[in-house]
Structure 1
Amino acid sequence: MDERNKKALYIIMGLIIAMLLGTIYGSYLTPQKTHLTFGATYMTMNNPFYEVINNELKKEIEKKGDELIVRNPELDIDKQNEQIEEFVTKKVDGIFVNPIDSSKLTSLESARESGIPIIAIDASVENTDLIDCLIESDNYHAGVLCAQNMMNRMQSANIVLLKHSTVESAASRIQGFVDTIKNNSNYRIIDSAECEGQLERAMPAMQSILKEHSNINVVMALNDPSALGALAAIESLNCQDIIVYGVDGTPDLKSLIKQSPLIAGTAAQSPIKFGTLAAKNMYKILERKDVPKTIEVPVTMITKDNIDSYNVKGWQ
């Protein structure tokens, strides 16, 4: 074989090896690409928690000269599936999703088949093989912290739960609360309602419950907006001696911890960390670096005892 043919053979072999390596290492490489585009869809933007996450995520992405396309499905799982299919059609370089219903996000299969990396934020999906990474709070522990604080405050209680059962993170918070009190008969759950974590749905749901029960002592709400809805209902019916727990650590609820005897506390999350971690780990995935399957951000209980240690005008 002459030198020219040898060189041609080496080139062909090199190309074959490069193609094989590309197959082995996955399809998340974007060689020669200087501008990346990402898609993000949250369950709703009618919640300051997701606004803060999105602002931090966008800031990190735009720092690199890249682009974030944001969609709001407004708690409609069909819309969220359509939005993810839109991202697939646009051939985005990565998808951030906050699932409305962890069992019905079928569009992730299309994204996975297209080789698009996916990071779930705040809540997981039923089939975790469809995502590369989950970034969430220690949601179960948030419920535990609220229950422990309640048990330290009162020897017995009749309790109402405000829930959003289709969302894994919200369900975990309520489960943590329930598991903590379940072996103590002094603490009884006398009613519950689904409110999708929305103030405007929590308020009428709580008003209905208050009209049925005159012996409520505690409301455990899945998040701060629903806790604010419970507070509005309690005040509208001039009820007394009912305390409310939330989960989030919003500026609104932290301010009320100082002002209102009805707000007992909140298990605080860190949406600022969520946004930063989501962006950094997406870039790591695209660079073929290992990332944890789950990144769990700790929560902190904020009550009247320690509220002065926190900034009530912003998030932690």
Structure 2
Amino acid sequence: MVIVLLVWCYSLNIFLSQAPVKIGATYMTLNNSFYQIINEEVKKKVDQNGDILYTRDPGLSVTKQCQQINNFIKLKVNVIIINPVNGESHKLQAVLRKAHQQGIRIVVVDSQVSDAHDVDTTVVSDNYRAGALDAQNIRQNNERARVLVLRHWNALSVKERYRGLEDQFKKYPQYQIVKNVETLGQTDISLKKTKETLENSTNKYDLIVALDDQSALGALAALDELGVKRTIPVYGIDGSANMKRLLASDQDAQATVAQSPIKLGQKSIQASYKLVKNQKVARKIIVPVYLLTKKNIKNYDLSGWQ
């Protein structure tokens, strides 16, 4: 009986050690190739290890994202990788707390949650520097500027970019943020709102800063549709393939700050597996960014993400 019991325990231990790791991933929206690339990198590693990945798209809805996390809890995932729709949502933070209290590891990617108590690690680009780099380039190329800012204010990463931009302008009154416009980071909304702003405003804007490339693309399309004859430089942040191509071909596309969804995905899944093994992971992992302009774009690959 003792021998049989020992054999059974040994077999059970082998079975448990070979059980696949289950990971739930939810991104604010998957209609943006940036998040598709992050998820592709996560999936590569999960498939390589023979584990299970559940990927969900809440379509910019906090309610749907909370429902998805509750479903991950029911599926008994080991890790949740989340790009929060709204990092300041108490509802979202409560469901993350519920998951964490049940032993599920939490990895936040590309943005933050305002209360990170129940987050094991946050993997982000250097968003403050991204905003600062755009501002520095503006100052280098313009003696003064009245700026229209396009932003997705629910994303804490965007608030960091805005802070970097704003801090660079504070000591220089000749650079003014005249108006902020909400775009939800969507090209179609940005196109519509930019057109409306330029058509109906008495303000003359010298340039446009979009705090994500999706919004920058909408702004550039709006300028084309309006047939604006003077050059209005448009800045972005992301380093998307579309924006890089426009830097090489569109007179209004001025610069973008490149971040790397490939590295964000790789570092997120690396952290996830370390957490499953109870290995130490930094509370915050920051991925560097760099400026792409009309002058240096010829040195970079235009075909995809970095």
Give, in angstroms, the shift of residue 115 of structure 1.
0.7
Aligned residue for 1:193, secondary structure, equals strand
Aligned residue for 1:32, secondary structure, equals helix
Task: State whether structure 2 residue 256 is matched by structure 1 residue 256.
Answer: no
The residue that corresponds to 1:8 in the other structure is none
| Count of residues paired in the alignment | 289
The residue that corresponds to 1:163 in the other structure is 151
> For the residues of structure 2 that align with 1:102 and 1:145, how far apart are their CA atoms?
24
> For the residues of structure 1 that align with 2:210 and 2:97, how far apart are their CA atoms?
33
Give, in angstroms, the shift of residue 36 of structure 1.
1.5
> For the residues of structure 2 that align with 1:214 and 1:236, how far apart are their CA atoms?
19
Task: State whether structure 2 residue 277 is matched by structure 1 residue 292.
Answer: no
Give, in angstroms, the shift of residue 306 of structure 1.
1.1
The residue that corresponds to 1:78 in the other structure is 63
The residue that corresponds to 2:95 in the other structure is 107
The residue that corresponds to 1:197 in the other structure is 185
Contact 1:191–1:209 under 8 Å retained in 2:
no
Give the residue type in structure 1 aligned to 2:243. Answer: L
Task: State whether structure 2 residue 45 is matched by structure 1 residue 57.
Answer: no
The 5-angstrom pairing of residues 13-24 of structure 1 reads none
**Superimposed CA distance per residue, residues 18-70 of structure 1 (whole angstroms, 9 cap, x where no aligned partner):** xxxxxxxxxxxx95243111100000001110010001110011110011100
The residue that corresponds to 2:116 in the other structure is 128
Structure 1: gaps of 5 or more residues: 1-29
Structure 2: gaps of 5 or more residues: 1-14
Give, in angstroms, the shift of residue 201 of structure 1.
0.9
> For the residues of structure 2 that align with 1:154 and 1:287, how far apart are their CA atoms?
52
The residue that corresponds to 1:10 in the other structure is none
> For the residues of structure 2 that align with 1:203 and 1:175, how far apart are their CA atoms?
24
> For the residues of structure 1 that align with 2:202 and 2:257, how far apart are their CA atoms?
26
Tell me which stretches of 4 or more aligned residues in structure 1 moved more than 4 Å: none
Aligned with residue 307 of structure 1, among 285, 297, 302: 297
Give, in angstroms, the shift of residue 126 of structure 1.
1.5
Give, in angstroms, the shift of residue 262 of structure 1.
0.3
- TM-score (normalised: structure 1): 0.89
Task: State whether structure 2 residue 204 is matched by structure 1 residue 215.
Answer: yes
> For the residues of structure 1 that align with 2:146 and 2:58, how far apart are their CA atoms?
36
- Work out the percentage of aligned pairs sharing the same amino acid: 37
**Superimposed CA distance per residue, residues 76-113 of structure 1 (whole angstroms, 9 cap, x where no aligned partner):** 00000000000001101110000011121121011011
Give, in angstroms, the shift of residue 125 of structure 1.
0.7
> For the residues of structure 2 that align with 1:125 and 1:50, how far apart are their CA atoms?
17
Contact 1:271–1:315 under 8 Å retained in 2:
yes
The residue that corresponds to 1:26 in the other structure is none
Task: State whether structure 2 residue 134 is matched by structure 1 residue 149.
Answer: no
Q: What is the RMSD of the two structures over their aligned residues, measured on CA atoms?
A: 1.5
> For the residues of structure 1 that align with 2:195 and 2:202, how far apart are their CA atoms?
10
Aligned residue for 1:100, secondary structure, equals coil
Aligned residue for 1:205, secondary structure, equals helix
Task: State whether structure 2 residue 239 is matched by structure 1 residue 271.
Answer: no
Give the residue type in structure 2 aligned to 1:225. Answer: Q
The residue that corresponds to 2:77 in the other structure is 92
- TM-score (normalised: structure 2): 0.92
Give the residue type in structure 2 aligned to 1:50. Answer: Y
> For the residues of structure 2 that align with 1:280 and 1:296, how far apart are their CA atoms?
14
Give, in angstroms, the shift of residue 287 of structure 1.
0.9
Highest CA radius of gyration, 1 or 2? Answer: 1
Aligned residue for 2:28, secondary structure, equals coil
